[in-house]
Amino acid sequence: MIPPVSDRITHPDGREFTKSRYCAQMGEMGRTTVAIPPDHPSLAELLRMPPMRGAVVLAGAAGLERAPAELVVGTNIDSPAVFGAGSLAVITEPEPNTRGTQLHELISELDRVGACALACIQSPLCQQSAGLHEADLRGFPVIQLPQDLQVERLAEQVLDHLLQRAVATLTRSERLDAALATAVAARAGLHGIAAALATTLGGHAMITDSRGRVLAEAGAGSLPHLTSCFDRHGRFRVDDESLGLSSHPGSGGQHIVAAIPVGGRSGRLVAISPSLDLTPHDLAAVSRAATVASQALGEEIAARRACERRRREAVRELVTPQGCLARGRELAAELGWDLDRPLAVVVAFAEPEDGPVWGLEDVPPDDETAESTLAAAWRSLARQRDPGAAVTDLAGEVVVLLGGLGNPVQEQRALRDLAHGVAQRCRIASAPSVSTGVSLPVSGPQRIATGYRQARAAARIGRRLHGPGSLTTAGSLGVLRLLDLVEDTDQLQYFAQEALGPLAGTDPALDPTELADLRHTLTVLLECNLNVAQAARELHFHYNTLRYRIAKLERLVGPFTRDPHRRLTLELALQVLPLCHD
């Protein structure tokens, strides 16, 4: 409850104002004039104030955003020019010599001299349909005030309310400045700034990045009345919500949006008040808070990038041949990583259009890269399962050192769930698909480099076998892990073509679809140890149909049913063939 104000008040800009300065009694002209104090609320705001509550807009609602400079209350409307430019003209029952006045003429004259609106109390003048039509055409508001309104006190009541609002605004501004100074001194960061703003305005405050992701928020309760401000992923609509003081029709309350400039991009500071009547001075206070938030956000980004550089250095020392294991262990200890336990090394990369990059050159820190988005998703989900998990992005890929290994089957399921969750988050962030490789369990820091090579090979082979977006574990590769060690891929391709002959698909004259079907038949036969009945069931063939196919295959690749060495050669060739087609 704001206490009654004295005749003198100091505004936030330092000037002093008094009621007597704003209110002038003009008895000889039958009117009272009140100058609206600086911050000029709009007509819509004035109508929400207690002195004018219950007023009805009869016409010209398009002009409610006008900001009147003065409130003029009187009965003499012989000369509309006395109302002046920027005035809200409030008339009571016209005197007898003015009862012939036509509303449309009065509105035309008031609009000509620059008046903002016309208000009346149950006057027949304001009921003339032609005049109301003219008001709609001009966007000139015609307002009907409540019949029980004490017109003689209206000017004073409006002025009292405006000056009390100025006192409240000044008080909030001073409290916010003090709360921000305390938050900065305590190094409370973005959460402290949001809390200071929410406490001062008695509502909700949040700080977002340039993409609308909420970085910090404070205030009680949810925001169901402002759901239109957020997209379906819970991000603030940065591009749709305009800066400044605004409200949503039917939502109740107001909110202020201020830009937070950081590194060429702009985040947002959003202050939401469901009950207070916010003013432009509140907007100025929130803008000052945005300046403080800009510094705090810049410091957090710098600290996060410095930490990420240390993570990259630690992982590079642990996984590269030229790395220093002792230095890697030292950095890992500083970062709180527990490496002296069974670990799985995970390598994941976001698929660019032209394929993955497998270099080890570091990439410049950029909070908007696909790798940083992927690393953030892995860090968030992996640490829910293993708080000591190490996650960093390194040269176009993300490396994860994940502990808490248990039953292999359960571990496989948990890793797939993690990878699925990461892929879902990356799709929300509009990142490309994610390919993932997982090593065999490794024990101790000295084995992490081996696990890293296994995970990279699994990711690379899995992508070739199953396409982008796959998850492959080193334990599922079998002999492919050995074949991947052969650096001369031309020799592998020559081996596959020599062993499979026409089945390798190098002859353009043969139907590639039929050759692929025959290769699949051969693969199933070899997996079933040449058990024709079992293979026929798996292939959904008739027994005799499969016997016919076996004969055709032997004409193409030789008598594999009677030669175990040829069967081994064919099995290896069928494994090698996908590796030769990247």
One-character DSSP codes across 25-90: EEGGGTEEEEEPPTT---HHHHHHSGGGTT-EEEE-GGGTT---SEEEEES--S-GGGG-TTEEEE
- 13 pLDDT band, cuts 50/70/90, is very low
Q: Are residues 147 and 195 in the same domain?
A: no
Same-domain status, 81 and 110: yes
Q: Which residues, 6+ apart, have CB-to-CB distance to 338 below 8 Å?
A: 388, 403
Judgement on whether residues 504 and 390 belong to the same structural domain of the protein: no
Q: Is residue 215 part of a domain?
A: yes
User: Is pLDDT above 70 for 29?
Assistant: no
Does position 107 have pLDDT exceeding 70, yes or no?
Answer: yes
For residues 191 and 147, membership in a common domain is answered with no
For strand 117-120 and strand 142-144, is the pairing parallel, antiparallel, or unpaired? parallel
Q: Place 365 in a pLDDT band, splitting at 50, 70 and 90.
A: very low
Confidence of residue 31 (pLDDT cuts 50, 70, 90): low
- pLDDT score of 40: 63
Same domain (yes/no): 151, 236 = no
Q: Check whether 150 has a pLDDT greater than 80.
A: no
> pLDDT averaged over the chain?
77
Q: Are 63 and 139 in contact (CB under 8 A)?
A: yes
What is the span of the domain harbouring residue 242? 187-303
pLDDT tens, position by position, 309-353 = 898 899 889 988 888 889 989 998 888 888 888 888 988 887 654
pLDDT, tens digit (0-9, with 9 covering 90-100), for 58-78: 888 888 888 888 877 776 555
453 and 525 housed in the same domain: no
Q: Is residue 168 part of a domain?
A: no
Answer whether residue 180 is part of any domain.
no
pLDDT reading at 540 higher than 50: yes
pLDDT of residue 279: 74
> For the whole model, what pTM was predicted?
0.56
**pLDDT reported for residue 3:** 39
Strand order in 244-246's β-sheet? 214-218, 204-208, 265-273, 254-262, 244-246
How many CB atoms lie under 10 A from the CB of residue 446?
A: 13
- What pLDDT is attached to residue 353? 46
Q: pLDDT tens digits for 428-439?
A: 444 457 788 888
Q: Closest Cα partner for 534 from 519, 520, 524, 548?
A: 524
pLDDT band for position 102 (cuts 50, 70, 90): confident
573 in any annotated domain: yes
- What pLDDT, on a 0 to 100 scale, did the predictor assign at position 569? 87
Region 542-546 average pLDDT: 89
Q: Based on the domain organization, do 158 and 195 belong to the same domain?
A: no
Structure-model confidence comparison of residues 384 and 334, the more confident one: 334
Q: Is residue 401 part of a domain?
A: yes
Task: Say which amino acid occupies 527.
Answer: E
Number of structural domains, the chain?
Answer: 4
Mark whether 13 and 156 lie in a shared domain.
yes
Poorest-pLDDT segment among 21-30, 112-121, 441-450: 21-30
CATH number at residue 462: 3.30.70.270
Angle of CA points 299, 303, 305, to nearest 5°? 120
Per-residue b/e over 521-531, b at no fewer than 16 CB within 10 Å? bbebbbebeee
Do strands 342-350 and 434-438 pair parallel, antiparallel, or not at all (unpaired)?
A: antiparallel
Residue 25 clears pLDDT 70, i.e. is over it: no
Q: What is the mean pLDDT of residues 260-277?
A: 79
- In degrees, rounded to 5, the angle at the alpha carbon of residue 277 between the alpha carbons of residues 275 and 282 is 115
pLDDT digit string, tens, across residues 175-189: 888 888 888 888 888
229, 237 contact by CB (below 8 A) = yes
The mean pLDDT of 354-377, rounded to a whole number, is: 50
**Same domain flag for 57 and 85:** yes
Residue ending a domain, among 446, 480, 514, is 480
Domain annotation covers residue 330: no
- Between the ranges 15-29, 118-132, 188-202, where is the mean pLDDT highest? 188-202
Most confident of 26-35, 239-248, 369-378: 239-248
Predicted confidence at residue 420, as pLDDT, reads 78
By C-alpha distance, which of 443, 365, 449 is closest to 399?
449
**pLDDT of 372 over the 50 cut:** yes
pLDDT higher than threshold 80 for residue 19: no
> Would strands 87-91 and 117-120 be described as parallel, antiparallel, or unpaired?
parallel
Give pLDDT, residue 486: 72
Predicted confidence at residue 391, as pLDDT, reads: 86
* pLDDT for residue 223: 55
Same domain, 133 and 245: no
201 against 561, higher pLDDT: 561
**Structural domain includes residue 320:** no
Structural domain contains residue 128: yes
Instruction: Provide mean pLDDT across the span 198-210.
Output: 84
Residues present in the chain in total: 582
Q: Which residue has the higher pLDDT, 114 or 374?
A: 114
pLDDT at 463 over 60: yes
CATH code of the domain containing 121: 3.40.1390.20
Say what the pLDDT of residue 82 is: 64
pLDDT attached to residue 81: 60
Q: Would you state the pLDDT for residue 93?
A: 60
Read off the pLDDT of each residue in 472-494 and give the average, rounded to a whole number: 77
| 513: CATH | 1.10.10.2840
Of 217-221, 296-300, 474-478, where does mean pLDDT reach its minimum?
217-221
| One domain for residues 377 and 468 | yes
Domain boundary among 281, 303, 325: 303
Report residue 89's pLDDT band, with 50, 70 and 90 as the boundaries.
confident
Q: What is the mean pLDDT of residues 390-400?
A: 84
Q: Which one has a higher pLDDT value, 373 or 176?
A: 176
CATH code for the domain in which residue 212 is found: 3.30.450.40
Of 113, 128, 163, the domain-final residue:
163
Residues 473, 494, single domain; the answer is: no
**Is pLDDT at 98 greater than 50 in this prediction?**
no
Other C-beta atoms closer than 10 Å to the C-beta of 563 total 13
